[in-house]
A = this chain, B = another copy of it.
Amino acid sequence: MAKFVYRFDEGNAGMKGLLGGKGANLAEMTNLGLPVPKGFTVTTEACMKYLETQQLTDELIHEVKQALANLQKETGKAFSSATDLLLLSVRSGSKFSMPGMMDTILNLGLNDENVERLAQETNDERFAYDCYRRLLQMFGNVVYEIDSSRFENYLDFFKTKHGYESDADFTAEDLKEVVTCFKSIYMESKKKEFPQNPETQLFDAIEAVFRSWNNGRAKVYRSIHDIPDDLGTAVNVQLMVFGNSGSNSATGVAFTRNPATGEKKIFGEYLLNAQGEDVVAGIRTPNPMSELATAMPEAYTEFEKVAARLEAHYEDMQDIEFTIEKGKLYFLQTRNGKRTAQSAFKIAVDLVKEGITTKEKSLMKIDPNSVNQLLHPVFSDEDLKSATLVSAAGLPASPGAASGKIYFDADAAKEHALLGEKVILVRQETSPEDIQGMVSSEAIVTSRGGMTSHAAVVARGMGTCCVAGCGDLEIDEFHKTVTYPGGQLSEGDVISVDGSRGEIYLGDIPTTVTEEGENFRTIMSWADEFARLSVRMNAETVNDIKAGLAFGAAGIGLARTEHMFFGPERLLEMRRFILANTVEERKHALQQLLPFQQADFEQIFKLAGERPVVIRLLDPPLHEFLPTNRKELEHIAKELDMPVQELERRVIDLKEINPMLGHRGCRLAMTYPELYEMQAEAIIRSAVRLKQAGQNVQPEIMIPLVGMTRELTDLTERLNKKIAAVLAETGDSISYTIGTMIELPRACFIADELAEAAGFFSFGTNDLTQMTYGFSRDDSAKYINQYLEDGVLAQDPFQTLDESGVGELIRIAVEKARAEKPSLKIGVCGELGGDAESIAFFHDVGLNYVSCSPFRIPVARIAAAQSAIRGVERN
């Protein structure tokens, strides 16, 4: 029989799946002997069972009651004790950290009688009623789903009425009135009373936490972070400790190292005389942890000691929630801390240097996608000098820099982003309801809240640039304006946000990319020690190739040749080629293109050095090179000396209803073999020139869109013949290979035949995904986005490999190909080649390399290393 409830001393850190991250860590800390308020955890299995049956089972009720009895026995506290009142916190906690997503209830156990008991016990009536009104507020919102604004509006109204500045001005009498009114809000909006029985409160709260697993915000967060829907959340029931029980009490959140820079120093914030949610919600601006050392030196010293112990224990930087109740320090949560990419690299390197952990473990802790943050853009100092500052009062909450139009609510931001605008979400503070707008934004700006506020945490997690707590902005969400020291901005105005400095500027400022540092290089060299997949770049321009080499590309996995035909002189000859009526005319036009192509390839090879270079022969349909509007047609007709009607007819002839499935790729060469022959000649001639200059190049000639064996064998034969003729003429030898792109489902099924003929394979995952799903990338954004939102698609298959369909085809192709030719070199080019999750698949299926855009290369190198380390762990 399943056990649904675990005392904290029954669990450990390894039980995250069953107890959730929070529960498992509370158990681990308890067993480490740290000061953790006692409690128990209701398992995620109980949650899933509840969601299935929509009710708490008798077994579960029985186990909770037993755990409660045990808690009372151990602590001597009871729900109606006059001297030792039992009050509980109830918090959710799933396997993966979902900050702000799930709901929390504090002070559970209070009721009309107990609030008086608490007042007597603490001798602080104001404190007791403040706790009670918080319970009413949280319970009403979480359990009865009463809109939280109803409670807040009433508080605001009350403050205005009495001319109060802040919550601190409330008297005990005021709070009694608030409590009365809050109870009436229950009746009015839900026709329900607040349950006076503490056990009823507890079971209602557990059910509400369970249900909250499936609330909209949670679903969106899971979808964004690829968290499965069937994990469920655990519920942690724990003795309350009160950070709001006076001036020698406090509550805070702190990291063992600086999550933005990686500096080895306690970093965080606390609020004196406050309860936990006050810090996270960003309602009061908290004090930095350094001040705690002066304010409560004893507690601070103990905190430092425990923090070091936890870090060594978990072999990672920790994010710790604590409360100090009347001078006594309690630990409420610890977990591996979220951090910026920059600090992640520093921490990973430092932990190894300090002997706390190993290279492998350190590598495994880096989120490969976070590397993108490292490479996030910045504004140049020069540009900033001439820019107009809006505010420099904000916190540098998430690094990066971006410009865009400002919007004041999440829906507007999302909507305008869908229309293709770059948008920036500007709000007083963000809440979980804003998630979708945050995802759509280039940057996030808030006027309230600290480095651990909702906006800051979420933005860092997404790698979106964020300035938080920018106090000199007056944000009017209703009138959609923001007033700053020098003026006012309205919806749609453009600003630039520097999340690394916490600054905001007027107008659009160009961005450049940061230089990566020493730690980055160290991590990358470790990655290469472990990785088995090599990482190439998709690049053909000078800038891209240089960037890719700087990021450590092992070669070029995809040099596209289509852009090479767009220079004005080239385009004219290309058009002559397309419109030729005879083979001779075609060959003549190609002869004019040959020197251009040769120069193109020479440049690529020169930059790539002796690294392998895959050159894809021309892929797009020919009509892409022809004009469509009348004016251009007339111009071109004149240039080509042909009647405009004739040109128009030819353009119409070449038009296709579905160009993606049209006359393109190797099909062009099956019709006009001279085209690929010219390209092969240019490749080989440029290789010869470089060889004569002392550089050995490794051309890998790639034939795209092969679906039939004869396409590959016929074209390979022709190209080999052409190349042999060129080499016979020059008297040189060049070691080259001819391979094919695997991008049609059919190619996967005939991979054995293709392998026999091919020098290499490279999976073209973009087209393969298009064909497998029947999705046109050009058109599908609309419904793919909806599918992602609705969870019909768990992930965008163009961003992360679809293992069931596309992955199955790749697996079939690799198996067939390797059965025919075990040594065949197989790679992948296309966007999935730079996606960490997809790379794990490519490693497992046995590819030789992945190729991606230059900026994805560090991500890919780390993902490749992690795949290899994971592979070793498995065996």
Binding site for B on A (CB under 8 A): 656-663, 667, 670-671, 705, 707-708, 710-711, 714, 743-746, 749-750, 767, 770-776, 778-780, 782-783, 786-787, 790-793, 802, 804-806, 808-809
From the candidates B662, B670, B710, B790, name the one contacting A779 in the complex (CB within 8 A). B662
Query: Assuming the A-B contacts A792-B708, A792-B711, are A774 and B776 also in contact, with contact meaning beta carbons closer than 8 angstroms in the complex?
Result: no
Determine how close the nearest CB of chain B comes to the CB of A468; give it in whole angstroms: 37
Chain A binding site: helix, strand, loop or mixed by DSSP? helix
Query: Assuming the A-B contacts A802-B746, A808-B749, are A792 and B658 also in contact, with contact meaning beta carbons closer than 8 angstroms in the complex?
Result: no
From the candidates B663, B776, B786, B805, name the one contacting A657 in the complex (CB within 8 A). B776
From the candidates B657, B707, B750, name the one contacting A774 in the complex (CB within 8 A). B707
From the candidates B667, B773, B782, B783, name the one contacting A783 in the complex (CB within 8 A). B667
Query: Assuming the A-B contacts A745-B745, A746-B804, are A776 and B658 also in contact, with contact meaning beta carbons closer than 8 angstroms in the complex?
Result: yes
Q: Kindly list 20 other residue pairs between chains A and B, CB separation below 8 angstroms, not including A657-B660, A707-B775.
A: A656-B776, A656-B778, A658-B659, A658-B778, A661-B661, A661-B779, A663-B783, A671-B783, A671-B786, A705-B774, A708-B792, A710-B790, A743-B774, A744-B772, A745-B745, A745-B771, A746-B774, A749-B809, A771-B771, A771-B774
The reply to whether A657 and B779 form a contact with Cβ atoms under 8 Å apart is yes
- A661, B657: Cα distance in complex, Å: 11
Determine how close the nearest CB of chain B comes to the CB of A657; give it in whole angstroms: 4
For residue A743, which residues in chain B have a CB less than 8 angstroms away from its CB? 774
For residue A707, which residues in chain B have a CB less than 8 angstroms away from its CB? 772-775, 805
Residue of B nearest to A753 (CB): B804
Determine how close the nearest CB of chain B comes to the CB of A623; give it in whole angstroms: 10
Query: Assuming the A-B contacts A658-B659, A658-B778, are A792 and B745 also in contact, with contact meaning beta carbons closer than 8 angstroms in the complex?
Result: no
Determine how close the nearest CB of chain B comes to the CB of A665; give it in whole angstroms: 8
The reply to whether A774 and B744 form a contact with Cβ atoms under 8 Å apart is yes
The reply to whether B767 and A774 form a contact with Cβ atoms under 8 Å apart is yes
The reply to whether B779 and A663 form a contact with Cβ atoms under 8 Å apart is yes
The reply to whether B805 and A662 form a contact with Cβ atoms under 8 Å apart is no
Determine how close the nearest CB of chain B comes to the CB of A54; give it in whole angstroms: 18
- A708, B750: Cα distance in complex, Å: 25
The reply to whether B746 and A776 form a contact with Cβ atoms under 8 Å apart is no
The reply to whether B661 and A776 form a contact with Cβ atoms under 8 Å apart is yes
- A659, B662: Cα distance in complex, Å: 12
| Copies of this chain assembled into the complex | 2
For residue A660, which residues in chain B have a CB less than 8 angstroms away from its CB? 657-658, 661, 774, 776
- A125, B298: Cα distance in complex, Å: 135
Determine how close the nearest CB of chain B comes to the CB of A654; give it in whole angstroms: 10
For residue A804, which residues in chain B have a CB less than 8 angstroms away from its CB? 746, 749-750
The reply to whether A661 and B780 form a contact with Cβ atoms under 8 Å apart is yes
Most buried by B among A667, A710, A743: A667
- A361, B3: Cα distance in complex, Å: 70
For residue A772, which residues in chain B have a CB less than 8 angstroms away from its CB? 707, 744-746, 771
- A705, B667: Cα distance in complex, Å: 27
The reply to whether A749 and B779 form a contact with Cβ atoms under 8 Å apart is no
Determine how close the nearest CB of chain B comes to the CB of A777; give it in whole angstroms: 9
Query: Assuming the A-B contacts A670-B786, A792-B708, A793-B708, are A779 and B656 also in contact, with contact meaning beta carbons closer than 8 angstroms in the complex?
Result: yes
Determine how close the nearest CB of chain B comes to the CB of A626; give it in whole angstroms: 15
In the complex, 24 of the A-B residue pairs with CB atoms within 8 angstroms, ordered by the A residue number, are A657-B659, A657-B776, A657-B778, A658-B661, A658-B776, A658-B778, A660-B774, A661-B770, A661-B776, A661-B780, A707-B773, A707-B775, A708-B793, A710-B790, A714-B792, A744-B774, A745-B771, A746-B773, A746-B805, A749-B805, A749-B808, A749-B809, A750-B805, A771-B771
A-B CB proximity, top 10 nearest: A746-B805, A661-B776, A658-B776, A657-B778, A710-B792, A656-B779, A658-B660, A745-B745, A658-B658, A662-B779
For residue A808, which residues in chain B have a CB less than 8 angstroms away from its CB? 749
Query: Assuming the A-B contacts A707-B774, A774-B705, A774-B707, are A780 and B662 also in contact, with contact meaning beta carbons closer than 8 angstroms in the complex?
Result: yes
Residue of B nearest to A792 (CB): B710
Most buried by B among A746, A772, A778: A746
For residue A786, which residues in chain B have a CB less than 8 angstroms away from its CB? 670-671
For residue A793, which residues in chain B have a CB less than 8 angstroms away from its CB? 708
Determine how close the nearest CB of chain B comes to the CB of A797; give it in whole angstroms: 9
Determine how close the nearest CB of chain B comes to the CB of A346; give it in whole angstroms: 42
- A708, B787: Cα distance in complex, Å: 10
Determine how close the nearest CB of chain B comes to the CB of A618; give it in whole angstroms: 15
- A657, B791: Cα distance in complex, Å: 26
For residue A750, which residues in chain B have a CB less than 8 angstroms away from its CB? 804-805
Determine how close the nearest CB of chain B comes to the CB of A124; give it in whole angstroms: 54
Residue of B nearest to A806 (CB): B746
- A805, B773: Cα distance in complex, Å: 16
- A710, B656: Cα distance in complex, Å: 32
Residue of B nearest to A667 (CB): B783
The reply to whether A745 and B658 form a contact with Cβ atoms under 8 Å apart is no
For residue A705, which residues in chain B have a CB less than 8 angstroms away from its CB? 774
Determine how close the nearest CB of chain B comes to the CB of A512; give it in whole angstroms: 33
The reply to whether B661 and A774 form a contact with Cβ atoms under 8 Å apart is yes
For residue A749, which residues in chain B have a CB less than 8 angstroms away from its CB? 804-805, 808-809
For residue A714, which residues in chain B have a CB less than 8 angstroms away from its CB? 792
From the candidates B663, B670, B767, name the one contacting A792 in the complex (CB within 8 A). B670
For residue A779, which residues in chain B have a CB less than 8 angstroms away from its CB? 656-659, 661-663
For residue A662, which residues in chain B have a CB less than 8 angstroms away from its CB? 776, 779-780
Query: Assuming the A-B contacts A656-B778, A657-B659, A670-B787, are A744 and B773 also in contact, with contact meaning beta carbons closer than 8 angstroms in the complex?
Result: yes
- A783, B661: Cα distance in complex, Å: 12
Determine how close the nearest CB of chain B comes to the CB of A807; give it in whole angstroms: 9
- A129, B660: Cα distance in complex, Å: 65
The reply to whether A791 and B746 form a contact with Cβ atoms under 8 Å apart is no
For residue A783, which residues in chain B have a CB less than 8 angstroms away from its CB? 663, 667, 670-671
For residue A802, which residues in chain B have a CB less than 8 angstroms away from its CB? 746
For residue A671, which residues in chain B have a CB less than 8 angstroms away from its CB? 783, 786
Determine how close the nearest CB of chain B comes to the CB of A157; give it in whole angstroms: 35
For residue A667, which residues in chain B have a CB less than 8 angstroms away from its CB? 783
Determine how close the nearest CB of chain B comes to the CB of A819; give it in whole angstroms: 15
- A853, B414: Cα distance in complex, Å: 48
- A535, B714: Cα distance in complex, Å: 40
- A535, B784: Cα distance in complex, Å: 37
- A779, B657: Cα distance in complex, Å: 7
- A252, B496: Cα distance in complex, Å: 94
For residue A770, which residues in chain B have a CB less than 8 angstroms away from its CB? 661
For residue A658, which residues in chain B have a CB less than 8 angstroms away from its CB? 658-661, 776, 778-779
For residue A775, which residues in chain B have a CB less than 8 angstroms away from its CB? 661, 707
Residue of B nearest to A807 (CB): B749
- A746, B711: Cα distance in complex, Å: 25
- A670, B749: Cα distance in complex, Å: 31
- A632, B817: Cα distance in complex, Å: 54
Residue of B nearest to A660 (CB): B658
For residue A711, which residues in chain B have a CB less than 8 angstroms away from its CB? 792
- A809, B770: Cα distance in complex, Å: 16
For residue A782, which residues in chain B have a CB less than 8 angstroms away from its CB? 663
From the candidates B670, B710, B809, name the one contacting A745 in the complex (CB within 8 A). B809
Most buried by B among A661, A662, A770, A776: A661
- A6, B843: Cα distance in complex, Å: 58
Most buried by B among A658, A667, A780: A658
Residue of B nearest to A707 (CB): B773
Residue of B nearest to A621 (CB): B779
- A744, B802: Cα distance in complex, Å: 14
- A16, B271: Cα distance in complex, Å: 96
Residue of B nearest to A784 (CB): B667
For residue A745, which residues in chain B have a CB less than 8 angstroms away from its CB? 745, 771-772, 805, 809
Determine how close the nearest CB of chain B comes to the CB of A214; give it in whole angstroms: 16
- A792, B661: Cα distance in complex, Å: 18
Residue of B nearest to A661 (CB): B776
Determine how close the nearest CB of chain B comes to the CB of A764; give it in whole angstroms: 11
